[in-house]
Amino acid sequence: MKKNLFALLVVLMLGWAAYASFFVAPTENTMGVIQRIFYLHMPSAIVAFCAFLVTFVANLLYVFRRQQRWDWLAVSAAEVGLAYITVVLITGPIWAHPVWGIWWTWDARLTSTFVLWLLYISYLLLRTLIEDPHRRALASAVYGIFAFLDVPLVHMSIRWWRTQHPQPVLMGGPGTGLDSRMKIVLLYSFIALLSLMIFLVRQRYELEAMRGQADVLRREAEAA
Amino acid sequence: MKNLDSVFAAYMVGWGVFFLYQLTVSRRVASLRDEIEQLRISLKREK
């Protein structure tokens, strides 16, 4: 019942965020209506970073405590984070094409984001290669800790290098900033997408816990 | 409204990714629930 209520709340928040992105946020002067992709693209990127941070912390906790639940949380958040970063990699080129005249360029921001996507795909692939649950959890935890190092690199890439991707609009220093209505819509979208991330991680964690339960039952059935 | 179709495409594809992901997780949960139930029944029979 609680789960259904939370799901309904998430759907309502997502609906409101989409409405606000189209009808509340003002049209940006230079890019026009295409800039509205920003309210899906940027919050998805931040939420993906949050999910990978959860994976990183859970990986560290697994390495130090060796409790299966941290491994379950790590893989759940990694998979959800991957879904979000996929959305970033799809919406980015759709926005870039009319504005830059190209779908893609290998600049520091785009390349490091693509590498991040590959790193977490590899994280999930690695888990399919190891049968023993404890070895699998440890190997993927160690790998996941190193994979997370790309997240700060992606974040800082537009500050450290000259890129085709725009400079930061929030906390980007003098000459940068957002209209107050744009900031509010951005915040709505972020909260809605973060809530969806929490919902998806919980659901994915439930699946992983059930897999653990099924493994125990399978072993019992084999032993009987 | 220039590029409005691109904005719609971006939102449709974006929400589509989340929806499909949620759907795959729900299906995996449902199928695993069935498997656990079957395993429990077969273990009970053997006891």
Q: Complex ipTM, two decimals?
A: 0.91
Q: Does residue B10 have a pLDDT over 70?
A: yes
Does residue A90 lie in a domain region? yes
Q: Do B22 and A203 touch (CB under 8 A)?
A: yes
What pLDDT score was predicted for residue A220? 87
Does residue A138 lie in a domain region? yes
d(CA A135, CA A78): 18
What pLDDT score was predicted for residue A49? 97
Does residue A96 lie in a domain region? yes
B21 contacts in chain A (CB < 8 Å): 80, 83, 200
Contact present, A81 and A52 (Cβ < 8 Å): yes
Number of domains in chain A: 1
Contact present, A204 and A79 (Cβ < 8 Å): yes
What pLDDT score was predicted for residue A221? 86
Q: Does residue B8 have a pLDDT over 80?
A: yes
pTM: 0.93
Q: Which residues contact A19 (CB under 8 A, 6 or more apart)?
A: none
Q: Does residue A172 have a pLDDT over 80?
A: no
- Bridge partners (DSSP) listed for residue A32: A28
Q: Does residue A44 have a pLDDT over 70?
A: yes
Residue A152 domain boundaries: 2-25+34-166+178-223
Q: How crowded is the C-beta side of B3, counted as CA atoms within 13 Å?
A: 19
d(CA A203, CA B41): 25
What is the distance in angstroms between the Cα of B28 and the nearest Cα belonging to chain A?
A: 7
Does residue A194 lie in a domain region? yes
Does residue A171 lie in a domain region? no
Among B18, B21, B43, whose Cβ lies nearest the Cβ of A217? Answer: B43
Does residue A172 lie in a domain region? no
Does residue A65 lie in a domain region? yes
Could you tell me the pLDDT band of residue A62, with boundaries at 50, 70 and 90?
very high
Q: What is the pLDDT of residues A86-95, one digit of tens each?
A: 999 999 999 9
What pLDDT score was predicted for residue A113? 96
Does residue A8 lie in a domain region? yes
d(CA B25, CA A79): 10
Higher pLDDT: A222 or B47? It is A222
Structure-block tokens of residue A198:
């929490």
Q: Give the chain B residue whose CA is nearest to the CA of A39.
A: B11
